[in-house]
Each structure stands twice: as structure tokens, then as C-alpha cells.
Amino acid sequence: MIYLQRKPSPPLAECVEMLWYACAPDVPHQRELVLPGGKIQFVISLASDHLTDCTPAGETPTAPALLVGARTSAELIATSDMKQLAGVIFRPGGLGPWLRERADLFYEQSLSLADLWPMKALRERLRETATSPDLTLRILDQALCEQASARERRVHVRGALSMLGSLSVHETARELGISERRLHLVFSEDVGLSPKQWSRVHRFQRAVCALHKGVDMRWAELAITCGYADQAHFSRDFRSFSGVDPTTYSVSRGRWKNHLAVG
């Protein structure tokens, strides 16, 4: 198994969090559950001419390059897709300056990237260099730079992202000097989630990080540390986002904090 991360070049730093490459051809299980992180991604297959739409009922081939929208629910993936992949993780609010599309249009969806960005020639170039992961990511970075615009994330969205979690939506809007309705509109358009959804996912991810590190702490104490009112609230939220309880996650956690083997 190979996994490589690369920070974006300076022109992309405002909108892209990281680029990544994965090569995992011999995964012993058939499916994984991917937990919601609240961020938009590009996922590009370098080994196959399709990725897989995976549901409890079965699997259907789909496009080889996908835009995966922000989610608040866990997603099933087929591990056969993990033979060789490249991807891009956008910063919250970072899609607009790059793609010039509203992020909320992609909520809970995986769409063919070719419908939004000319992908055929780029994907062939990436496949030709797939034996050199670092070169693959450099080519992907260059292609993103060529598409990037000078537009920056909206100031109210940047401000809200720095406040939500420690402040409520109402308090955040007041600090920014705008109405809650206006905050909801611009935040959803840029991030793909409402301010409340983002706050919940962000809090959930704090808990996931702690559990993945194997923190030695009672559930009630962990709940308070991560920003939950009590253990019951923590357990309900965790199951709502992941489909499993915190104990099951702790026992089943693997290399990647947001991936769980499910069979």
C-alpha cells in the first residue's frame, strides 16, 4: 500500500487543502465506509475506466473521475476502486474560486468530473505517470493552477469558518454583522453545508480524530472535550454521521481515520 500527500502550490493554497495519491491493490475486504468530513473532493481512477457507485443493494460502474460533494452521511465505497487513485481535497469554501460553481449544488452527490472540467487528456497524462506518484501529483497540481481564478473565498465565509464551533450560528452572524439568513445563504453556497451542518460535522471530526488516536478517556469526558453537551448527545451524533457507535469505530479503526472496513 502506498499513500502520498502533497501540499498545493502557492496559487492553489487559498482553495486547495491537499492533493493525494493512493495505491492499495490488495485490500482484504470488499467495502469500506467513508465517514463525512464536510469537504469537497475530486477522485480520479488511474487503474480503471470507471469508479463504483456502491450501495447496500449492489454495485454499478460510474465515471472514472468524480466530484464528491460535501456530505453529512457516511458513504460506501468498493475497495476494488483503490487500486490506484489520485485526488484533491478542497478547503471549505474553496471550490468556488476554482470551479466557479455553488458548492451546495453537489451536497451528498458524486458527479462525473468530466461534466465540469475537460478530463480525458489530463487523466491520460496522469495514468502515464502513475508509476511516479510525485510526478502524478505535480501534473495534477499544474492542471489545477491553470484552471484557478483570482477570486478568493468570501470574507464572511472565512470569518464564519474561524468562529463556528466556539460560537453558535446566531453569535457568529452577530460577530460578522450580518443576518443569520444571509450567513446561511453565503456559507451554504461556498461550503456546501449550512453553518449548523458544518459545526456538527466539525465537532464529529474532532471526536473521530481523538478515537483514531486511541485516546484513553471516558466517553462522557470525551464528549465534553469535543464540544458535546453530554455522552448521550455524543453517541447519537456519532451514529448519525457514521452509522456505527463510538465503540465499534474504536475497535474497527484502521490506517485512515475516516475509513472503516465493512466486509
Q: Residue ranges per domain, the chain?
A: 2-147, 155-193, 196-261
Q: What is the mean pLDDT of residues 39-62?
A: 92
Taking only the tens place, the pLDDT of each residue in 186-223 is 999 999 999 999 999 999 999 999 999 988 888 899 99
Taking only the tens place, the pLDDT of each residue in 69-96 is 999 999 999 999 999 999 999 999 998 8
Which CATH number does the domain 196-261 belong to among 3.40.50.740, 1.10.10.60, 3.20.20.10, 3.30.420.40?
Answer: 1.10.10.60
* pLDDT of 148 above 80: no
* pLDDT of 143 above 90: yes
> Residues, the chain, total?
263
pLDDT, residue 37, reads 94
Which CATH number does the domain 2-147 belong to among 1.10.10, 2.60.120, 3.40.720, 1.10.3470?
Answer: 2.60.120
Q: What is the mean pLDDT of residues 231-246?
A: 93
Taking only the tens place, the pLDDT of each residue in 116-138 is 888 899 999 999 998 899 999 99
pLDDT, residue 151, reads 66
Q: For residues 53 and 104, is the Cβ–Cβ distance under 8 A? A: no
* Largest interatomic CA distance in the chain: 53
Angle, helix 155-163 to helix 180-191, in steps of 10 degrees: 100
Q: For residues 25 and 94, is the Cβ–Cβ distance under 8 A? A: no
